[in-house]
Amino acid sequence: MSKYQKVAYYPGCALEGTGHAYNRSTKVLGKELGLELDEVKNWNCCGAMEVKNVDPKVQTYLSSRVMSIAANQMQASVVMAPCNGCYHNLKKAEHDLAHDADSREVVERISKKAGHETYRAGQVETIHALDWIKDGVGEDELKRRVKNSLKGLKVANYYGCMYTRPRHIFPEKDQGAGSESTSQPHFMDDLLAAAGAENVDFPLKTACCGGAHTLSDSDTSTKLVLNILRAAEAAGADVIATECPTCHSGLEMHQVRAEKVLGQKTRVKMLYFTQLLGVALGVSPRSLGVHENVSDGLEALREKGLA
């Protein structure tokens, strides 16, 4: 049995809001594949942008608290975070606690004050939803379970930046065959190919979308996203597969904004990779929350006879 068969699930704030469909489809997919999710009890924000921008060490503490609950209260050895931001922050906290004495001191002090056990580096392994499916099920098993092949659906896989950068907080990546690559990530490509999709050659899969500046400098973000969308279309993609609620809503939001502000319309649709895999397993798009996406992915699925 894979060590990822049962994991502590850390959905994070976005999956309770804008990324609700990602939460829903992740849970449905896990159930279909016989993987178990045990939600972290009383989880808190990972520190995301807001806290990290004021005091990065408090962000380290907040992320460490999530891992402490998983390790010390739930006796979990693996925490799975589907959001790139959460995944990145937990990984960063893990790295800081392993390498920085000041971070350890701050986390120790606040944990004592908060009345819970201090998280020690190495107690849990933080993984992304892509690792969960890739290592917990694998392509061969996935292929075996496909009932509604994605054959004919052309997909551009967009990973965004926080899944792979900065490289030093992801020591398990770039370890040769079988490991994920930080310069050419491929886990999502592998899984969707196993489900029958045709991955297009998409050179902007980790390109900057202006993300963190999306509110303060929306025009730059809109132009960067528009270029990503156009490149996906030029590569022949019907849909862009995403694996992060922030990337997903950023692409959707700026697609709408590009049309309104710049008069530039693009027709490519965004779908979470969990929604696409769910469809391939024969789950109805509605159960996977496709109707909750801003971008009408249902239309793209219908066109290909998948819904």
Alpha helix (H) residue ranges in the chain: 20-33, 48-52, 56-68, 84-99, 101-114, 129-136, 139-145, 187-194, 218-234, 245-262, 273-280, 297-303
CA–CA distance, 7 with 33 (Å, rounded to integer):
14
CA–CA distance, 38 with 151 (Å, rounded to integer):
33
Task: Using the rule CB under 8 A, give the single segment among 53-61, 113-121, 135-143, 299-307 that binds another protein.
Answer: 53-61
161 binds another protein (CB under 8 A): yes
Positive or negative, the CA dihedral 136, 71, 25, 239 is negative
Of the residues 77, 149, 218, 227, which one makes contact with another protein according to CB under 8 A: 227
137 vs 231 by CB, closer to another protein: 231
222 vs 275 by CB, closer to another protein: 222
Mark 178-217 with x for binding to another protein (rule: CB under 8 A) and - for no binding. -----xx------------------xx-xxx-xxxx--xx
162 binds another protein (CB under 8 A): yes
**Residue 137: phi, psi to the nearest 5?**
-120, -50
55 binds another protein (CB under 8 A): yes
Residues 6+ apart with CB under 8 A from 15: 22, 23, 26, 82, 83, 245
CB of 228 to another protein, least distance (A): 8
Answer yes or no: are the C-beta atoms of 116 and 69 closer than 8 Å: yes
Of the residues 6, 24, 88, 154, which one makes contact with another protein according to CB under 8 A: 88
218 binds another protein (CB under 8 A): no
262 binds another protein (CB under 8 A): no
Mark 65-84 with x for binding to another protein (rule: CB under 8 A) and - for no binding. --------------------
